[in-house]
Amino acid sequence: MERVDVITGTTAAAIAAKLSKVEVIAAYPITPQSECIEVLAKFIADGELDAEYIKAESEHSAMAACIGASATGVRTFTATASQGLALMHEMLYIAAGMRLPVVMLNTNRALSAPINIWCDHQDSISERDTGWIQIYAEDNQETLDSIIQAYKIAEDEDVLLPVMVCIDGFILTHTVEPVHIPDEKKVRDYLGVYEPKHAYLDPDRPITQGPVGVPECYMETRKQISDAMEKAKKVIKRVNEEYYEIFNRRYGNGLVEGYNLEDADTVLVAMGSVCGTIKYVIDSLKEKGKNVGLLRVRTYRPFPKEDIKEMLKETENVGVLDKNISLGFNMGALGIEIMATLKGKKVCNYIVGLGGRDITLQNIEEIIKHLEESEDGETKWIGLKE
């Protein structure tokens, strides 16, 4: 029976993994994700989840264990953050290259140095080209729903790629919100049993996995992953609608979500929990007769350029908020890709919230004012000390 719990984002992710009936969990603790794997360990210890729990000696090993387990044909899960995700880097490519539907929670956190445990998106953005699908949740409810959806997307035969669900460290991992917990049987009926045709361990049907990719075939494997990413867009939209029909919740079209876009000449583009702050500012401005919109990019990989182009075709001022910076280009990754998508349109890029710097209501209002007054696209750092 569905219930409502008041829980953190990390607990929501752990419950989603349990509902999804994961069979192998491999992890190494790192702030701010540790609670997620602690909750899963308790589920197993209490007999609520029948799964193998592997306490790895590092994040590199945790992902290697997930890859090995997934290659035998079982549903796997792990969680990490920041330096831990960076340590997984080599293994992330292998999971995607072997087309293994591993699902991972990444609790976004800044990368050192200087040492910083607070939120920005530099860790996951730095892994954008590894072949993982990346979903950015706005709140704890979406965290739970996205983990469940992630298995449906990853295991689709047109996709067969790993999925990383990203949530803002401390903002979602350490704050509680009411979260609707779906009925367990309903989730398991929805996901079904994972029965891979390409990755299994059966002595009677021997196969080779992860062989050498010589020059005569390597390029084709990269093209196949690229094609699967493109096919994933359609699958993500379909899964979003199916989820709505069964659980009565959906997030835009699965790839992007528009907020107050109708007749808005000024639109902000962002990812993650800051979108809740932006919506609050938009509502406040609307009461004063000012019309500003938000386009939330929920799925960063695959990048929904066709949807963005269509939804912003009439928009005059586009401002992109980035919690990351491409050093040497003085823009954030999302800003660069939005600018490439909207060729010829004014796009300003705002670098915000690095290393957990607060993004205030006043910061959002400052961005909107600057965007409307700016004559051409430019990059502006918001909230820097004098």
Query: pTM of this prediction?
Result: 0.98
Q: What is the mean pLDDT of residues 201-206?
A: 94
Whether 16 and 147 have beta carbons less than 8 Å apart is answered as yes
Q: What is the mean pLDDT of residues 236-260?
A: 98
pLDDT at 354 over 90: yes
What pLDDT is recorded for position 375?
Answer: 87
Is 3-247 assigned to CATH 1.10.357.10? no
User: 41: Cβ–Cβ under 8 A, 6 or more apart, which residues?
Assistant: 53
pLDDT at 386 over 90: no
Q: What is the mean pLDDT of residues 273-281?
A: 98
> What is the share, in percent, of the chain residues with pLDDT greater than 90?
98
Q: What is the mean pLDDT of residues 216-234?
A: 98
Q: What is the mean pLDDT of residues 145-152?
A: 98
> What is the share, in percent, of the chain residues with pLDDT greater than 70?
100
d(CA 83, CA 212): 29
What is the pLDDT of the chain when averaged over all its residues? 97
Q: What is the mean pLDDT of residues 363-382?
A: 95
163 compared with 386, residue with greater pLDDT:
163
User: 262: Cβ–Cβ under 8 A, 6 or more apart, which residues?
Assistant: 293
User: pLDDT tens for residues 27-37?
Assistant: 999 999 999 99
**Domain extents in the chain:** 3-247, 256-381
Cis peptide before 199 (omega within 30 of 0): no
d(CA 381, CA 353): 9
Q: What is the mean pLDDT of residues 218-225?
A: 98
What pLDDT is recorded for position 339?
Answer: 97
What pLDDT is recorded for position 131?
Answer: 98
Q: What is the mean pLDDT of residues 354-366?
A: 98
What pLDDT is recorded for position 1?
Answer: 85
What pLDDT is recorded for position 311?
Answer: 98
pLDDT at 197 over 80: yes
Q: What is the mean pLDDT of residues 292-296?
A: 98
Q: What is the mean pLDDT of residues 266-292?
A: 97
Q: What is the mean pLDDT of residues 182-201?
A: 96
Q: What is the mean pLDDT of residues 329-347?
A: 97
Report the topology of domain 256-381: Rossmann fold (3.40.50)
Alpha helices by DSSP H, listed for the chain, are 9-19, 34-45, 59-71, 82-87, 89-97, 122-125, 140-154, 184-191, 215-247, 274-287, 305-311, 333-341, 361-373
Tell me if 3-247 shares its fold with 256-381: yes
User: pLDDT tens for residues 297-307?
Assistant: 999 999 999 99
Q: What is the mean pLDDT of residues 330-344?
A: 97
